[in-house]
Amino acid sequence: MRILNTPLITDKIVRLNAGEIVLLNGTIYTARDAAHKKIVGAIKNGRPLAFGLKEQIIYYAGPAPAKKGEPIGSCGPTTSSRMDSYTVPLLKKGLKGMLGKGKRSDEVIGAIKKYKAVYFIAVGGAAALLATKIKKAKIIAYPELGTEAVYKFEVEDFPVIVAIDSKGKSILK
């Protein structure tokens, strides 16, 4: 098991291997379909983004509302392939990590190799457990999207598996 602190610099990423278990520490951002559409639209139109993509991780999740005294409610991964059509422009802008569940397209796998990025998966169905690893949560963009708003999380020992490494090797068949 490897401990990995954000931001994700290339030197850290190229050492990761498909199938490896990793505990993430630091900042990660959430974005689902609607937020991805807005982010890519901003990139295409030359508008500034609400957060920098360089060396960051986007978690494909829409958290449940926080219970009293907690930073966030249950927060499990959503199906990553729904973001495939938006992924390449984000990788071009410096995104280095994606976190979700399920397979990725050949185009995305090729872009992961080209831009030396990594795709992590988290265990689906473990949303309540994953939420305990989120220590701070704040909406930073698109609050009108409700649970699909972009959140900034501070995580500690957030458990993930390297599904596709920077060499394009995948544990997903």
**Catalytic center residues:** 36
List CB contacts of 171: < 8 A, sequence separation 6 or more: 18, 19, 161, 162, 163, 164
What whole-number distance in Å separates Cα of residue 111 and Cα of residue 136?
31
Instruction: Please report the DSSP string for 38-54 in residue order.
Output: HHHHHHHTTPPPSS--T
What whole-number distance in Å separates Cα of residue 102 and Cα of residue 110?
16
Distance of CA 111 to CAs 4, 9, 32, 83, 97, Å? 22, 16, 19, 13, 12
